[in-house]
Amino acid sequence: MKEVTPAELKKMLDSDEKFKLIDVREETEFAELSITGCDLIPMNSIPENIGSVPRDIKVVIYCRSGNRSGVVINYLEKQHGYENLHNLKGGIMAYDKEIGL
Protein backbone atom coordinates (compact mmCIF):
# COMPACT_ATOMS: atom_id res chain seq x y z
CA MET A 1 0.00 0.00 0.00
CA LYS A 2 1.29 3.41 -0.95
CA GLU A 3 1.62 5.90 1.90
CA VAL A 4 2.07 9.63 2.29
CA THR A 5 3.71 10.98 5.44
CA PRO A 6 2.23 13.99 7.26
CA ALA A 7 5.14 16.13 6.00
CA GLU A 8 4.54 15.01 2.42
CA LEU A 9 0.82 15.78 2.72
CA LYS A 10 1.57 19.25 4.11
CA LYS A 11 3.85 19.87 1.14
CA MET A 12 1.10 18.71 -1.24
CA LEU A 13 -1.46 20.98 0.46
CA ASP A 14 0.89 23.97 0.21
CA SER A 15 1.66 23.36 -3.47
CA ASP A 16 -0.42 23.44 -6.61
CA GLU A 17 -0.41 19.64 -6.87
CA LYS A 18 -3.78 18.32 -7.96
CA PHE A 19 -5.07 15.59 -5.67
CA LYS A 20 -8.12 14.66 -3.61
CA LEU A 21 -8.07 14.26 0.17
CA ILE A 22 -10.72 11.99 1.69
CA ASP A 23 -11.52 11.49 5.39
CA VAL A 24 -13.21 8.13 6.09
CA ARG A 25 -14.00 8.74 9.77
CA GLU A 26 -17.49 9.30 11.14
CA GLU A 27 -19.20 12.71 11.06
CA THR A 28 -18.72 13.25 14.81
CA GLU A 29 -14.95 12.67 14.50
CA PHE A 30 -14.79 14.93 11.45
CA ALA A 31 -16.59 17.73 13.30
CA GLU A 32 -14.02 17.61 16.11
CA LEU A 33 -10.88 17.70 13.94
CA SER A 34 -10.27 17.64 10.21
CA ILE A 35 -7.80 18.74 7.57
CA THR A 36 -9.00 21.75 5.59
CA GLY A 37 -10.01 20.91 2.04
CA CYS A 38 -10.87 17.26 2.55
CA ASP A 39 -14.07 15.46 1.63
CA LEU A 40 -15.87 13.35 4.22
CA ILE A 41 -16.92 9.90 3.03
CA PRO A 42 -17.40 7.70 6.12
CA MET A 43 -15.93 4.22 5.76
CA ASN A 44 -19.31 2.46 5.82
CA SER A 45 -20.62 4.64 2.99
CA ILE A 46 -17.71 4.04 0.59
CA PRO A 47 -19.52 1.33 -1.45
CA GLU A 48 -22.36 3.69 -2.41
CA ASN A 49 -19.97 6.62 -2.95
CA ILE A 50 -17.38 5.01 -5.21
CA GLY A 51 -18.15 7.62 -7.86
CA SER A 52 -16.79 10.27 -5.48
CA VAL A 53 -13.34 8.66 -5.45
CA PRO A 54 -11.53 9.75 -8.61
CA ARG A 55 -9.32 7.40 -10.61
CA ASP A 56 -7.46 10.00 -12.65
CA ILE A 57 -5.61 11.94 -9.91
CA LYS A 58 -3.76 11.05 -6.72
CA VAL A 59 -6.11 10.37 -3.80
CA VAL A 60 -4.97 10.52 -0.17
CA ILE A 61 -7.28 8.77 2.28
CA TYR A 62 -7.07 9.19 6.03
CA CYS A 63 -8.77 8.26 9.28
CA ARG A 64 -7.74 8.60 12.92
CA SER A 65 -4.63 6.40 12.86
CA GLY A 66 -4.41 4.85 9.39
CA ASN A 67 -6.24 1.57 10.05
CA ARG A 68 -9.69 2.32 8.62
CA SER A 69 -8.23 4.18 5.67
CA GLY A 70 -6.04 1.13 4.99
CA VAL A 71 -9.12 -1.10 4.95
CA VAL A 72 -10.87 1.29 2.54
CA ILE A 73 -7.83 1.41 0.25
CA ASN A 74 -7.53 -2.40 0.22
CA TYR A 75 -11.24 -2.67 -0.65
CA LEU A 76 -11.05 -0.11 -3.46
CA GLU A 77 -7.87 -1.61 -4.91
CA LYS A 78 -8.93 -5.25 -4.73
CA GLN A 79 -12.65 -4.92 -5.52
CA HIS A 80 -12.63 -1.94 -7.88
CA GLY A 81 -9.14 -1.83 -9.41
CA TYR A 82 -7.96 1.52 -8.04
CA GLU A 83 -4.23 2.23 -8.43
CA ASN A 84 -3.98 5.90 -7.38
CA LEU A 85 -4.70 5.66 -3.64
CA HIS A 86 -2.36 6.65 -0.81
CA ASN A 87 -2.83 6.16 2.92
CA LEU A 88 -1.89 9.00 5.28
CA LYS A 89 0.70 7.32 7.51
CA GLY A 90 -0.47 7.52 11.12
CA GLY A 91 -3.73 9.22 10.17
CA ILE A 92 -4.93 12.59 11.39
CA MET A 93 -3.40 11.99 14.82
CA ALA A 94 0.10 11.83 13.32
CA TYR A 95 -0.66 14.83 11.10
CA ASP A 96 -1.86 16.87 14.06
CA LYS A 97 1.16 15.86 16.16
CA GLU A 98 3.75 16.55 13.42
CA ILE A 99 2.18 19.47 11.54
CA GLY A 100 -0.59 20.77 13.81
CA LEU A 101 -4.18 21.66 13.01
Q: In the chain, where are the structural domains located?
A: 3-98
Determine how many CB atoms are found less than 10 A away from the CB of residue 69.
28
Q: What is the pLDDT of residues 49-84, one digit of tens each?
A: 999 999 999 999 999 999 999 999 999 999 999 999
The 8-class DSSP code of residue 99 comes to: T
CA-CA distances (angstroms) from residue 69 to 89, 91, 96, 98?
A: 10, 8, 16, 19
Whether residue 63 lies in the annotated active site: yes
C-alpha to C-alpha distance for 19 and 60, rounded to whole angstroms: 7
Q: What is the pLDDT of residues 14-54, one digit of tens each?
A: 998 899 999 999 999 999 999 998 999 999 999 999 999 99
Fold of domain 3-98 = Oxidized Rhodanese; domain 1 (3.40.250)
User: Which is catalytic among the residues 63, 76, 85, 88?
Assistant: 63
Phi, psi of 76 (to 5 degrees): -65, -35
